[in-house]
Structure 1
């Protein structure tokens, strides 16, 4: 796979490439925002989908048991976590899955903890379901971002019923260590808090090792539910297939009953064959992708910090999303937004949408050809140089 090959995604109804104007006000902005990749899926995936297309009949579809076999084998091989087929509940995306988990296992008004700044739809899941938001902001240290364990205990002690864990963390890019996860498990056991772990980026590890929270929590009396998918790993997000892994049969049955009441459950045939092909035949493609992503992260850090000395690139341990600290530019969130759009002409994910703690940061997607990074950095560099020159003239 040539991950530096440029593929034209314009005029394909791509959210990233065709709807920047709707989100940011201009179609001329260079898009580095949406968390999908500018790469084709692995060839075995395309071949499997082509077979479905060639057949030409798209009637009601039942999920094959072979998909479950491939999924549990992937989890066992990739993450050393033994999961049975019977523990899986398939869902049309991790975000909808979490919404249904909140509805099933909490009541209106009850508390859900988010470790902020965090993937911004999480806030909507809590608020739109009329639950109470409990915030456990990550601590910023000289060694990077860590979990504030003391504050987390305060939130649990205050009565929160669920912790929505993001592992690996989006947008920070942390891959939580087993010790950190066990600290969470110990507190969840103490205060009887359900931990729902969003592990959609689990396969995209750039350094360290991803430990599933449920695996780390073995030996603790804590209920864990894990959400995973092939979508981020193999760029299959639009196919809308994910799965939830349960440890307790009673909870699984309650969740399945909730999904049945809402008529959730029929899969797209393209999604099932794509997921199975990816898990059975996508390892080599993924390993090549991870090399490309690591190189892109290093390249972005070198180029951007050289272009803008005030920029501090936080290297992600996982995901293809890079958290960048621009607070030293001295702009408030509105000024920074305007500068990025109007001066630099780039569409990045503004840090403040991930929570107040993200103000002054931006998130950049590096799952793209190298030339795409070059163009983004060029625009940022030129805007920075114009800003410095203008400031010099004013002074």
Structure 2
């Protein structure tokens, strides 16, 4: 039995944050019914190349193991089916505007389903109808202001990280509300907004600003409060070095053959190294340039110094395999990144074989037939 076995999720979400949240619930064993617009579907189906057998690899990355139905809310029968789905669901997830006019807002759904955990995902909170796109949130939310070279333009992160963070926050809120429901018998309206998820993720940078009033700036790969915690030049490329304490820096200095750096008053403590960063970098790179990044990684890792070469996604999956993490899962004829949580029990309480993302409306007939039947009838199975 999986952790969320028997849980029914009505997924009225689109693009990334909501679908990622509901796919995570599906990975944990919930039955997820994804509702899309007939003929159009989730717009990420058209976000390619690259394309997949279903639509696009973008869509596929967050929509496996779901039942796919196509319902037109302007059609009375389709709307009635959507409302009945929400009435039966344990969890409703949406990031759509204007659901109230269809009787699918929290008040309407909870009136007929007091145990529902209803999760709304918005860009800027329940009081704003402004659409929230990840790129805009990275821009206005300050993330771009601290990402990129100090003398260059602000840069977005290379993935829609605000959507990803919001999707994970949604799962946390949903699971907490489900746990509370076991005690109270009542559901909850879980409210997630992208801006709050982003600000909550800024951790030390946000804490520094709130404590000092000083606005953090871009520093490239450097850390504002730790040194060395940055990329350093070797003979053939970059090596990421992350010394989080003085003992690690001492091991780095000894391994490089310059133990005196560890007792030099300019570098003996982290605070001193931050204040004298460029002199420290120059001294380290004088030695590092004498060999390749690969050789230094091997040597320094053996000395328990935290370092890594700067790789790409191909090398990342290779590394994950080397660590025995089995980072991918077979989904139909494709490979996808597996659910990140693992359990100590073997084979673990997760679905053994995720099903491929649904074609648009693939399970509409089966779900319609189920919704027309007894309320206590089990939903169709995925696959």
Does TM-score exceed 0.5, indicating one fold? no
Higher gyration radius (CA): 2
Q: Taking structure 2 as the reference length, what is the TM-score of the superposition?
A: 0.25
Larger helix proportion of the pair: 1
> If the length of structure 1 is used for normalisation, what is the TM-score?
0.24
